Amino acid sequence: MEPFGSRLHQALAKRGPLCVGIDPHASLLAAWGLSDDVDGVERFSRTVVEALAERVAVFKPQAAFFERFGSRGMAILESTIRQLRDAGALVLLDAKRGDIGSTMAAYADAYLNPSSPIYVDAITVSPFLGFGSLRPAFDSAALHGGGVFVLALTSNPEGSQVQHARTADGRTVAQLILDEISQLNTGAKPLGSIGAVVGATVGRTGEDLSRTNGPFLVPGLGAQGGDPAGLREIFGDSIDAVLPSYSREVLAGGPTVRGLIEATERSLDACRRALGG
């Protein structure tokens, strides 16, 4: 399959620079007038697909909100992934997996191998066990044309305890991750398939984002306090590689299809203005 970085570049050019989260948490289901159970999650997901599957470039289902309902919740996730991909959208599963050896290889098979029922275009991963521990995910992505987004500079206040810590050579942990990503993306055009997760509220951190040559998944916009207008300050000349991600801001437009479409159009317009596209 064509590399994820190329497919992402094409999708953003066609549908615009926006990733929409699919996060059926209890309070959102209640706001939609839905029950906090499998039926509520199924109706929620079906409405999002109906409204946005053919309009948005990338969707980011949060695995935990489906996993909490066991096998029936996972069946809904599988169906949602399949419907989104059939509609031409890319699916980036927010699973934040991270482990070692055969366990990490099993995660890679689960999400990045086309033979899997929960196969997606890309996943999020955590590098806490060491960047090298993620090698099975990188290898599977390379083999099957998938993408991997590594947590690097997150918006949560606890993240700085690890991400801003200094390594033996003086770099921050975040910079080490960014530099490792850049090595994996060397020579890739128009965009590498290994990306970094960088929160929209991190501001100027001092890290060098310019050599990464991969996409930046940027959560934290809208309800979480991030403003698209501030993205250029964070990413500078790498702004073309930014994938802005909205969840609550868009999903609050439900439960109607029209409401979701209007909320998506507002968010997409804001991102286009900020990114100059």
**pLDDT tens-digit series, residues 184-210:** 999 999 999 999 999 988 877 788 999
pLDDT digits (tens, 9 = 90+) for 36-55: 999 999 999 999 999 999 99
Question: Residue 221: what pLDDT?
Answer: 82
> Residues 11-15: contacts with CB within 8 Å, 24+ apart?
11/57, 11/58, 11/89, 11/90, 12/57, 12/58, 12/243, 14/57, 15/55, 15/56, 15/57, 15/89
- How far apart, in whole angstroms, are the C-alpha atoms of residue 249 and residue 265? 11
Name the nearest CA neighbour of 129 among 82, 173, 66, 188: 173
Facing residues of 123 across strands? 93, 148
Q: Tokens for 170? A: 């003086």
Q: Which DSSP string do the residues of 51-102 spell out, in sequence order?
A: HHTTT-SEEEEBTHHHHTTHHHHHHHHHHHHHHHHHTT-EEEEEEEE---HH
Identified catalytic residue from 14, 60, 96, 189: 96
- How far apart, in whole angstroms, are the C-alpha atoms of residue 39 and residue 32? 13
Q: Tokens for 261? A: 């479409």
Question: Residue 228: what pLDDT?
Answer: 86
Name the nearest CA neighbour of 219 among 261, 178, 247: 247
Contact 122, 93 (CB under 8 A): yes
Question: Residue 277: what pLDDT?
Answer: 56
Which runs of consecutive H residues, i.e. helices, occur in the chain? 4-15, 26-31, 38-52, 64-67, 70-86, 101-112, 135-144, 160-163, 173-184, 231-235, 248-251, 257-275
List domains and CATH numbers for the chain: 4-275 (3.20.20.70)
Question: Residue 119: what pLDDT?
Answer: 97
pTM of the model: 0.96
Catalytic residue check, 96:
yes
Question: Residue 156: what pLDDT?
Answer: 87
Low-confidence residues in the chain, pLDDT < 70: 223, 277
